[in-house]
Amino acid sequence: MFRPVFHLVAVLTLGLVASATLAASVTDLVAERATQDLGVEMPATGHFNVLLPNGSPETGLAIREFWIDHQTGQFIANLVVPTGQVSRISGLALLTLPVPVTKRRILPEEIIRAEDIELTDLPWQRVNAFAILDPKDLVGMQAKRLITQGRPVQLQSVTPPIIISRGEEVKIELRHGALHLVTTGKAIGDAHLGQEVRVVNLSSKKTITAIARADGVVEALQ
């Protein structure tokens, strides 16, 4: 006479155990849903840092409805908890990016070294379209202006190192097949490796266009 009741209790117990097994972290569920909501605009290296109020459920089975303001990170969601009930939750889902920043202040004309850089997570709103996101794009670059410690470095703030300086006396090389001629000139402008620069040939007094090849060395364009 008690078997149906016992059977029902057993089924409910097994159901709760199965639900607990399938449950996932609420922060993971929210981050996954926020990523889906952002779609193709989601940065390749971005991730969501989810903050929940004290007392919020720690695990859940799924999120049914989800609303988020990507400008502020505030979200509201209907969470299915392991018991099968629906719980309304809210909090912050902040999109962050690992961004290379300098460990110290970099002065104009300084060369940025690998040891000058560290990765730090910053809110998406603080990272504009001109920020450098790959540390490889910073190492070996020369600062064009003062770079503040701990802030994203802008593309316009760095340049490849200047190897030819305006007014500098340079060696002009001309190569044509087996022919290799060398003369002296004076640079009219600055140039980094591989960049065109105007140079005055001191022998002929003519102005030519050359390519910066090394420190103090240019190759005349034919």
Contact 22, 61 (CB under 8 A): yes
Burial of 79 (0-12, 13-18, 19+ CB in 10 A): buried
Burial of 176 (0-12, 13-18, 19+ CB in 10 A): exposed
The pLDDT score that the predictor gives to residue 175 is: 87
Query: What does pTM read for this prediction?
Result: 0.64
Interval 128-174: pLDDT, tens: 889 999 999 999 999 999 999 999 999 999 999 989 999 999 999 99
The pLDDT score that the predictor gives to residue 44 is: 86
The pLDDT score that the predictor gives to residue 179 is: 87
Residue 187: strand pairing partners: 199
Name which CATH class applies to 162-220. mainly beta
| Domain ranges for the chain | 7-96, 99-159, 162-220
Q: Which residues of 181-204 are buried (b: 16+ CB within 10 A; e: fewer)?
A: eeeebbbeebbeeebebbbbbeee
Q: 99-159, what's its fold?
A: Type Iii Antifreeze Protein Isoform Hplc 12 (3.90.1210)
The pLDDT score that the predictor gives to residue 19 is: 53
The pLDDT score that the predictor gives to residue 178 is: 85
The pLDDT score that the predictor gives to residue 2 is: 45
Q: Which residue in 196, 193, 198 sits closest to 213, CA to CA?
A: 193
Q: Which residues of the chain have pLDDT under 70?
A: 1-21
The pLDDT score that the predictor gives to residue 129 is: 84
The pLDDT score that the predictor gives to residue 4 is: 54
The pLDDT score that the predictor gives to residue 12 is: 44
Residue 217: strand pairing partners: 171, 214
Phi-psi category of 39—alpha, beta or left, where left has phi over 0 and alpha has psi -120 to 50?
left
